[in-house]
Amino acid sequence: MVKPASTNFDPVTFLANAGLGKQIVHFNPKEAFFYQGDPADSIFYLQDGRAKLTVVAASGKEATITLLAAGDFVGEETLASGGGLRMATASAITDCTALKINRDAMVRVMHHERAFSELFIKFLLARSMRTQADLIDQLFNSSEKRLARILLLMAEFGTPGESNRVIPPITQEALAEMIGTTRSRVSFFMNRFRKLGLIEYNGRILVRRALLNVVLHDELPEHNAKNPEILPNAQGPANHSD
């Protein structure tokens, strides 16, 4: 028999504090919450910081599949697998603080507290919609538009706040992995965004709200959408820097 929900239960308080079956943990940049292939025995709730979820193929190639921000859960496969293994690696991009909830504690609160169950289900639905949007983006949008979308997601546009935002440090290689292109193409697009005044890029990336127009209205000059054509040199192959 399921125990009735507590009338004084507050999901926000539950996710903010350590307690039975849960502890607050801290991660430095590049430190892993867990690794692909580890036992799936706990769920993390990201309280502060930015993180990413990556997978490694049998060939050794690594790909970033999603970015994580404060308010996200990660490791939810723990509830589905029950003794299975992690399908991906979660690691910090910036300094992170998270609440680690073991499987038994998570199952218990899901069963007993309706308010928490509703909050978690809403998160799962939002994650599912985001995954579908990522797939549609990958299938139908150009790599330039995919890059613009990733930068906007990292800057968390769509939430109240400043019109210009600095995103956490990320390499062009990581951005290339996420949008399915090469680092040189990312470099070309980033320089183009900078020349158009859509971003500032000097070690850290500052994203301007005007970049939304790239995603929403395709407002980019068509004549500059491709890399410049490289013409053959009659005297021999030309030297080109990346």
Share of the chain above pLDDT 70, in %: 83
Domains of the chain: 11-138 (2.60.120.10), 142-224 (1.10.10.10)
- Per residue in 141-154, pLDDT (tens digit) is 889 999 998 899 88
The sign one gets for the Cα dihedral 40, 33, 186, 173 is negative
- Per residue in 205-237, pLDDT (tens digit) is 999 988 988 877 666 655 444 443 333 443 443
Contact 172, 183 (CB under 8 A): yes
Which residues, at least 6 apart from 41, have a Cβ–Cβ distance to it below 8 Å?
Answer: 78, 102, 103
- The side-by-side arrangement of strands in the sheet containing 204-208 is 164-166, 204-208, 199-202
| This prediction's pTM | 0.75
- Per residue in 10-52, pLDDT (tens digit) is 999 999 999 999 999 999 999 999 999 999 999 999 999 999 9
Q: Where are the beta strands (DSSP E) in the chain?
A: 22-27, 32-34, 42-48, 51-56, 62-68, 73-74, 89-92, 96-102, 164-166, 199-202, 204-208
